[in-house]
Amino acid sequence: MISTEQLYQTLKQHFRFTDFRAGQLDALTALSAGQNTLAVLPTGAGKTLIYELYGVVTQKLVLIVSPLISLMQDQVTALTVKGEKRAAALTSLMTYSEKNWVLRHLSEYRFLFVSPEMLSQDQILSAFQRVQIGLLVVDEAHCISTWGPDFRPEYLLLGQIRHQLGDPLTLMATATATQHVRDDIKQKLQLPQATEIVEPVDRQNIFLSVERFDTQNDKNDRLIELVAKLKKPGVVYFSSKKKANEMAELLTAKTNSKVAAYHADLDPETRFKVQQQFMQDQLDVICATSAFGMGIDKNNVRFVIHYHVPSDVESYWQEIGRAGRDGEQSVAILLYQSGDEQIAQFLSEATIPQDNEIHYYFQQNAPQIAGDEKANLIWFYKQHGYREDQLQAAFAKRREQRLLALRKMMGYLRTTACKRRYIQAYFDQLKGDDHLPKHCCSSDEPQPDFKGLGLLASTADSAAANDPQNSNTEWQAILTRLFNFAGHQSGAL
């Protein structure tokens, strides 16, 4: 049993903090007492600190199941930057020899990240069976519920995999989960008794706004206007990579802001540069798809704008949670054009196979060519003993769930009552009226007073103004800065 003093001591010595943020200590205390724990902490509350600190205190291997390769790489890099060299991500990007090397040296690692697909491979699973896992972390645990059946079904195997790993102590971490999703996570991981640590998901410093448009041109004009006048930095989310690229170009042309697109198609060099420019306040606005966000730890994001309607409230809340992590006033604006919900519905259902597709693929005796996701999905279920009719019923149910989730999202944007209370109710955390901030949402203030909220840009805020690369972009100046040549010369004197 680890004492509270030990936890505080490590927090101070290793992480250089004096206090835990809400929920962290509770989760650590539960884990220290050997209780499997489901922690629902808002974005930016420091979920990673929980397992990092646990790993440091216990000196045991922490295995983190994580949904995205880019997220895993960011987390490994973040640990390495902090001085923890015993961290690695087992991903499909690794070469055969690299993967083997890591698997042969598992016990030398403190933090290992792995996707559910990778972990369900026999070779990987049996390697982990040979070492003692101090803590199994299911990060972004809501994926088990929101992604499970029609996308990345390996998430559904995690309960069974956990048994095969000898039932290690488990932390399920997520930023957003309704009671229903929490129950679903615990049920699928076969941990119905897990301790729940639930912090309020509401973010009082984010003004919630929805604006409606009749045409796409009107919406584009408004986006340009908002980006030009709002205090930066900010993030604009899109449902498609193509749109993110287009609008990054348009915003660059029509505003004085430095804008870049960020999505899964970027090569690693570009991805790194955009991410680092944004972190170092050399970029005002990022036009992103949902690939951006998880893993980006930036405190001063002042606005998150959605150009398309997300397909469920969880995704929306997760994404606007990038705003105002520093506690300062920020704003989340959803730009809605009638008919946008059809895009959301299409995207939300696109991964769910139809009856005739299920029937067709069920006749096949081998997985289809790589990249045919539906074929592989159905193959997965066939391999796991599902019958065709069972699968059709399961996907029909899934389609209904997705539709319901979208309706809830549409409810948020349509409600004329308080949007914050709508969210609180959605996450089963409804509170009294006295828990609402003075400036709350566009239901009360259809024309938000950005000036009053302190959210109007001044010229000094622009990245163009802070950007040292903008000061002198001659190659001579760049070289001098790169190799600290001025400093070098004076040092030599």
Partner 1 sequence: MDATQLITFLSPTAPRRLRVIENILVGKRTVSTLYWGMRYHQLSWLGYEKGLTRETMNQSVAELNERGWVIVDQTNAQLTDRGAAEQRRVLQSRYQPQYFNIRLVIDVATFWQRLLLATQVVSEQSYQNNQYYPLQVSWQVKQTIKRWFSHYHNSGLQGDFQAFWQTFFTQLPSKQATFMSRLLVGHQQPGETLTQVARDFGLGESEAKLMEVDLICQLAKRVSQTDNGSVHALLSGLKTPLISESAALTLRSFMAGESLQTISQKRALKLSTVREHLLEAAIMLPKEQFNFQRVLQPKLVAQMQDRLGAVPLDEWQFKQVEDLQVEFWQFRLLEILRSKQIDDKH
- In angstroms, give the least distance from the CB of 36 to partner 1: 33
For the residues of 412-430, what is the DSSP string, one character each? HHH-SS-HHHHHHHHTT--
Q: State yes or no: residue 96 binds partner 1 (CB under 8 A).
A: no
- In angstroms, give the least distance from the CB of 254 to partner 1: 14
Q: State yes or no: residue 474 binds partner 1 (CB under 8 A).
A: yes
Q: Are 69 and 117 in contact (CB under 8 A)?
A: no
- In angstroms, give the least distance from the CB of 249 to partner 1: 9
- In angstroms, give the least distance from the CB of 479 to partner 1: 6
Q: Are 329 and 454 in contact (CB under 8 A)?
A: yes
Q: Which of 339, 482, 490, 493 binds partner 1 (CB under 8 A)?
A: 482
Q: Which is nearer to partner 1, 102 or 375 (CB)?
A: 102
Supply 117's token pair.
């697909």
- For partner 1, the binding residues in 298-357 under the rule CB under 8 A are none
Cα–Cα distance measured from residue 151 to residue 149, given in angstroms and rounded to the nearest whole number: 6
Tell me, what amino acid is at 265? D
Cβ burial of 103 (10 Å; 0-12, 13-18, 19+) is middle
- In angstroms, give the least distance from the CB of 70 to partner 1: 9
- In angstroms, give the least distance from the CB of 237 to partner 1: 20
Q: Which of 201, 260, 320, 333 binds partner 1 (CB under 8 A)?
A: 260
- Radius of gyration of the chain from Cα atoms? 24
Supply 215's token pair.
């045409």
Q: Which of 1, 81, 370, 493 binds partner 1 (CB under 8 A)?
A: 81
Q: State yes or no: residue 85 binds partner 1 (CB under 8 A).
A: no
- For partner 1, the binding residues in 169-198 under the rule CB under 8 A are none
Sequence-distant (≥ 6) Cβ neighbours of residue 439 within 8 angstroms: 207, 329, 445, 448, 449, 452, 453
Q: Which of 66, 73, 257, 348 binds partner 1 (CB under 8 A)?
A: 73
Q: State yes or no: residue 95 binds partner 1 (CB under 8 A).
A: yes
Sheet holding 133-138, edge to edge: 87-90, 111-114, 61-65, 133-138, 170-174, 37-40, 195-198
- In angstroms, give the least distance from the CB of 388 to partner 1: 34
- In angstroms, give the least distance from the CB of 493 to partner 1: 15
Q: Which of 19, 98, 167, 372 binds partner 1 (CB under 8 A)?
A: 98
Q: State yes or no: residue 297 binds partner 1 (CB under 8 A).
A: no
Q: Which is nearer to partner 1, 109 or 386 (CB)?
A: 109
Cβ burial of 34 (10 Å; 0-12, 13-18, 19+) is exposed
Cα–Cα distance measured from residue 404 to residue 197, given in angstroms and rounded to the nearest whole number: 27
Q: Which of 268, 411, 446, 454 binds partner 1 (CB under 8 A)?
A: 268
Q: State yes or no: residue 277 binds partner 1 (CB under 8 A).
A: yes
Q: State yes or no: residue 483 binds partner 1 (CB under 8 A).
A: yes
Q: Are 115 and 91 in contact (CB under 8 A)?
A: yes
β-sheet bridge partners, residue 135: 62
Q: Which of 19, 397, 454, 485 binds partner 1 (CB under 8 A)?
A: 485
Scanning 8-16, 105-113, 273-281, 363-371 for contacts with partner 1 by CB under 8 A, the matching segment is 273-281
Scanning 24-32, 139-147, 454-462, 476-484 for contacts with partner 1 by CB under 8 A, the matching segment is 476-484
Cα 458 to chain centroid distance, Å, stands at 30
Sequence-distant (≥ 6) Cβ neighbours of residue 216 within 8 angstroms: 337
**Residue tagged 């079904």 (tokens):** 153
Q: Are 108 and 87 in contact (CB under 8 A)?
A: no
Q: State yes or no: residue 94 binds partner 1 (CB under 8 A).
A: yes
Q: Calculate ∠ Cα 428-434-439, nearest 5°.
A: 95
- In angstroms, give the least distance from the CB of 277 to partner 1: 5
Scanning 15-23, 79-87, 106-114, 228-236 for contacts with partner 1 by CB under 8 A, the matching segment is 79-87
- In angstroms, give the least distance from the CB of 474 to partner 1: 6
- In angstroms, give the least distance from the CB of 98 to partner 1: 5
Q: State yes or no: residue 48 binds partner 1 (CB under 8 A).
A: no
Cα–Cα distance measured from residue 441 to residue 443, given in angstroms and rounded to the nearest whole number: 5
- Which stretches of the chain bind partner 1, using CB under 8 A? 73, 77, 81-83, 93-95, 98, 252, 260, 268-277, 279-280, 282, 468-469, 473-476, 478-479, 481-485, 487-488
